[in-house]
Structure 1
Amino acid sequence: MAEDPRPSYPDRVRSLLDEVDTRSGAAIAGAAALLLPAIEAGGIVHVAGAGHSLALVFETFYRAGGLAAVRPLWDPAVLPLDDALRSTRAERAEGLGRSVVRAAAPAPPDVAVVFSTSGRNPYPVEIAAECAARRVPVIAVTSPRASRGAAPRAPTVLADHATIVLDTAVPPGDVLHPPEAPRTAAVSTVLAAYTWSRVLAELDDLAVARGVELPRWTSANVPGGDEANRALLARYGDRVPELEGGTRTGPEVQPG
């Protein structure tokens, strides 16, 4: 049986991960350098995405090992789980992104992180533009390559409003397999999650070098996790209402 000359799917993913390191290595260090003083100054990291980019919001918010000073910027309309078509319409609708930012009212020393592979829909673009207008620096986690191949639905793109752009190297259309005519096996979540994890690792190294203790969630499945997280809930609960649904009653559930 002849050996398949095409690169395997795992090999193509590994190649793209290497590409992220090459394209975004300096920007990842810049993102960490932006985040650390903001957190030290008491700022909140506002994180946004729509549709499947909400998976990356989940990765940043209330996540074991993740930053506690994180607030999700979102509207229920952009969640595809109970109405997928509605989420697409909402991401393309003008005005929703700006209203989400206005409701959260971020202000310096806060930072915004916006995940959008194409960065071409009004929702992520408006969030970034509104945050920038409020002097809140924006970290865009996006793919300029995918953006160039996407249908334009806003007069600008996400990267236009960003202080730092983290290039995830996602190809147009997102899918990778088969290599000669890709139609399946989307890779944007893998690449964006890796990019964000690299930011967290860089941020940790920077904090250690400067003698700063970062506010991080601990898994509830390790000894002392509940106690450590309780202190963080008390510290950030008032500024991140999504942590407790606007109430301090009811059973405690710890980050996974």
Structure 2
Amino acid sequence: MPDAARLRLPGRVRALLDDLDTASGEAIGAAAALLLDAVQAGGIVHVAGAGHSLVMVCETFYRAGGLAAVRPIWAPDVLPLDDAVRSTRAERRTGVGRAVVKEAAPAPPDVAVVFSTSGRNPYPVEIAAECAARDVPVVAVTSARAADGAAARAATTLADHAAIVVDTRVPPGDVLHPPEAPRTAAVSTILAAYAWSRILADLDDLAAARGADPPRWTSANVPGGDERNTALIERYRHRVPELTGGE
């Protein structure tokens, strides 16, 4: 790619995607295998994040083409949509993450996936630590560069408690534009969503090699989608109460 093109936002995003592939390709394959092993053993994938990382929790849950054996675990206070200032305070407050895990009660053969760009706030750190203490392996989707450039608000980082770390390569501060003094165009959601899609693709390839057919949602807007999804809801509603509101 010509140097001038690399300086423009599309080129810089593509360069980061290539960087992610190089840095995390092996970890993505390992994460895919871990998740497939858990689902085949009857486990659930518990997925967590705070603030804008909750976008990734939505991306993993009840999503066309996504795994059906996924449970979102989160505290209402970390959602920024109705009180943004509260959400920032909540993910920095000790005890919130531990309470979320206690309520969800993950146990082997479950696994956990925790999304946090910096991985430095107590909320994602506590979730990962509590899951690991329950012998539930953690996949951390985070950025070492962002962690290095962030304020340390916990004694450890998300990555410290993870069995597998998928490094998204998000730069400190998240923003990309303009290149000489970045102040806008956050990239963490793009990179984390790409990493998750790569995990799903690797999981699908591995399942095919094993002759397995993991439970996946179908778009409700294609013929037969509602029927297939209804069967999956019945299969998982008792382990994933968020599918039916706990009914």
Corresponding position of 2:179: 179
Aligned counterpart, 2:241: 241
How many residues get paired? 245
Paired letter, 1:135: D
Matching residue of 1:143:
143
Residue 41 of structure 1 contacts residue 109 of structure 1 at CA under 8 Å; is this kept in 2? Answer: yes
Distance 1:6 1:133 in 2: 43
1:107-162 superposed Cα distances (whole Å, 9 cap, x missing partner): 00000000000000000000000000000000000001100000000000000000
Instruction: Give the Å deviation of 1:6.
Output: 6.7
Instruction: Give the deviation of 1:4 after TM superposition.
Output: 6.2
User: What is the Cα deviation at residue 58 of structure 1?
Assistant: 0.5
Unaligned runs of 5+ in 2: none
Q: Distance in 2 between matches of 1:234 and 1:197?
A: 25
Query: Which residue does the alignment assign to 1:108?
Result: 108
Report the 3-state secondary structure (helix = DSSP H, G, I; strand = E; otherwise coil) of the residue aligned with 2:114.
strand
2 CA distance for matches of 1:237 and 1:119?
Answer: 30
Q: 1:33 to 1:5 in 2, by over 3 A?
A: closer
Question: Secondary structure of the residue that 2:26 maps to in structure 1?
Answer: helix
Match of 1:37 in 2: 37
Partner of 1:82: 82
Corresponding position: 1:15 with 2:46:
no
Say whether the 8 Å CA contact 2:6–2:12 is kept in structure 1.
no
Q: Deviations over 1:210-254 (max 9, x none)?
A: 01111000001111100000000000001100001012xxxxxxx
Contact 1:170–1:188, Cα closer than 8 Å, also in 2: yes
Asked if the contact 2:6/2:15 (under 8 Å) is kept, the reply is: no
TM-score of the superposition, structure 1-length normalised?
A: 0.94
Q: In the aligned structure 2, how far is the partner of 1:119 from the partner of 1:138?
A: 13
After TM superposition, list the pairs within 5 Å mapping 1:54-65 onto structure 2: 54-65=54-65
Are residues 1:189 and 2:189 paired? yes
1:64-75 to structure 2, matched below 5 A, reads 64-75=64-75
Shift of the 210–85 alpha-carbon distance from structure 1 to 2, 3 Å rule, reads same
Unpaired runs of 5+ in structure 1? 248-256
Aligned to 2:125: 125
Checking the alignment, whether the CA contact within 8 Å between 2:71 and 2:242 is kept in structure 1 is: yes
Q: Give percent identity, aligned residues only.
A: 77
1:36 shift after superposition = 1.0
Change (3 A) 1:6 1:140: closer
Amino acid at match of 2:63: R
- Match in the other structure for 1:165: 165
Residues 14 and 5 of structure 1: CA distance in aligned 2, closer, same or farther (over 3 Å)? closer
Query: CA separation in 2, counterparts of 1:47 and 1:17?
Result: 23
Match of residue 254 from structure 1: none
Distance 2:83 2:74 in 1: 15
**2:92 matched residue in structure 1:** 92
8 Å CA contact 1:91, 1:123 repeated in 2: yes
Question: How far did 1:33 drift?
Answer: 1.1
RMSD: 1.1
Q: Is the CA contact (8 Å cut-off) linking 1:115 and 1:140 kept in structure 2?
A: yes
